[in-house]
Amino acid sequence: MTGQKKRGDDMGFQISTKNKIILILAGSVMLSMAVGFSRNMQDNRITGISRPEAGQTKEVQINAYTSEGEDPYPVNVKLSSRSYTDEEITELLEKADMELEETVKGSNPDLEHVSTKLELKNTYAGGLVKAEWSSSDYETVSFDGTVSNEDFDEDESRYVALPVRLSMGERFKDSIVEVTVTAPVQDETGRYVKEIKNAIDEQDAKHSGDDTVPLPEAVEGREIYFKTKDEEISPLIFIPMGIAGAVCVWFYEKQKLQRLERERCDALSGDYAALSSKLSLLCGAGMTVFAAWRNVAEGYLKDRKAGLARKRESYEKMNEALEMMNNGMSETEAYTRFGEACGVREYKKLGAYLSEYVKKGTGDLKKLLQNEARESFVRQKASVKVRAEEAGTRLLFPMMLMLGVVMAIVLLPAAKSFVM
């Protein structure tokens, strides 16, 4: 009867798993059909196509339908940006010239004191007007506005002209932006770094024929020494590294303790059915509770010494309780401590049962232990079933991922057609 029930439970679990798979596959097929149906029902007629931005082209694929209900005619349409009147072009060129004057200085205070990069844009007026820049001194100001003034003396300045052609189609307008490049604004640190570099350059020129360039020992009367940058790692960096490592170790040890405690409880629960069955059989054969307890505990020790059994915490706790009783502790207290030491609900209940029976001597202990063993077998079977279902649930994630990919493949073309 038990074997038939087990086969029935296994069959039920397999049917449940198959139902989940069938449900997911059916859902994906129904979703695909729904999207296809909604696409056919959607009346997404268009009466016009928006043009691209200035200077760009746009290629659009559309389907043409006739009133006779024939199959659609696929058409590829290539559009250019809109054309402007002469008045509009003149206005846009003027607008670009004004925008250029406002933005070209970048973060500099004005064009007479330029020490950082200029903002030389490629387009103005919302991208409608193109700009082509050049420079009278590319070594000082490049075509993209980069300023090279690192070698300037503190009071040095240099004039640079930046011709620019603003164009829109065939029309254009030429302008010249005049700037004065000055030395970079430096604080005391920056100034001293520059002096150190100059001193090293002097040593380089003086010892150009040597394999090694000697570094200066003093700059501006201040003694200095040098280290490679790799040696200047701050020792404070190891403090956050240590904190992070400690947090990681704490989480790891916490997870490890939780895992070990879970495995311990599972092992104790797994042993409970056999342990309670042994006590039930021995007490039913006429042994006292203490004699049955000693028989099970000592039998486990003999099997351990003979290499027939591996270490089991439940039986180890039984031997500890037996040793306490041999040293004079009362049976009731020893059984109670046994249950508390195991820390699992079944063992606490067993310790309470045995303690109560020894204290009062009432009740059918054999029947009580048999019921405990039977309930333990049922719980153990239910636990195995739950673990199997959890394993099946973990497989749902990759299946849902695959469903998401299928949905993306189906919905993206539909979304694109709606946008058009």
In this predicted structure, what is the pLDDT of residue 163? 93
In this predicted structure, what is the pLDDT of residue 52? 74
Write b or e for each residue in 42-67: b if 16 or more Cβ atoms lie within 10 A of its Cβ, otherwise e.
Answer: eeeeeeeeeeeebeeeeeeeeeeeee
In this predicted structure, what is the pLDDT of residue 309? 82
Q: What is the fold, at CATH topology level, of the domain defined by 93-185?
A: Immunoglobulin-like (2.60.40)
In this predicted structure, what is the pLDDT of residue 238? 67
Residues 321-357 pLDDT 10s: 989 999 988 888 888 898 888 888 888 888 888 888 8
Do residues 147 and 160 lie in contact, with contact meaning Cβ atoms separated by under 8 Å?
Answer: no
- Give whole-number Cα distances, 226 to 28, 117, 230, 285, 328, in Å: 68, 32, 12, 91, 78
Whole-number Å distance between alpha carbons of 331 and 361 = 13
Smallest CA-to-CA distance from 290 within 337, 349, 344, 355 is with 355
Where in the chain are the domains?
A: 50-82, 93-185, 189-223, 257-387
- Give whole-number Cα distances, 304 to 36, 263, 301, 319, in Å: 69, 21, 5, 12
Residues 143-187 pLDDT 10s: 888 998 888 877 888 999 999 999 988 889 998 999 999 988 766
Whole-number Å distance between alpha carbons of 338 and 333 = 9
Helix axes of 396-419 and 2-41: crossing angle, nearest 10 degrees: 10
Smallest CA-to-CA distance from 113 within 182, 183, 19 is with 182
Smallest CA-to-CA distance from 291 within 327, 325, 333 is with 325
User: What is the model's pTM?
Assistant: 0.39
Please state whether beta strands 171-182 and 73-80 pair in parallel, antiparallel, or not at all (unpaired).
unpaired
Given a cut of 70, the residues of the chain with pLDDT beneath it are: 1-23, 26-29, 32, 34-44, 53-55, 69-70, 186-187, 229-238, 362-364, 391, 414, 416-420
Sheet holding 157-168, edge to edge: 123-124, 129-133, 157-168, 171-182
For 112-116, the CB contacts below 8 A with 24+ separation are: 112/179, 112/180, 113/180, 113/182, 114/141, 114/147, 114/179, 114/180, 114/181, 114/182, 115/147, 115/149, 115/181, 115/182, 115/183, 115/184, 115/185, 116/147, 116/184
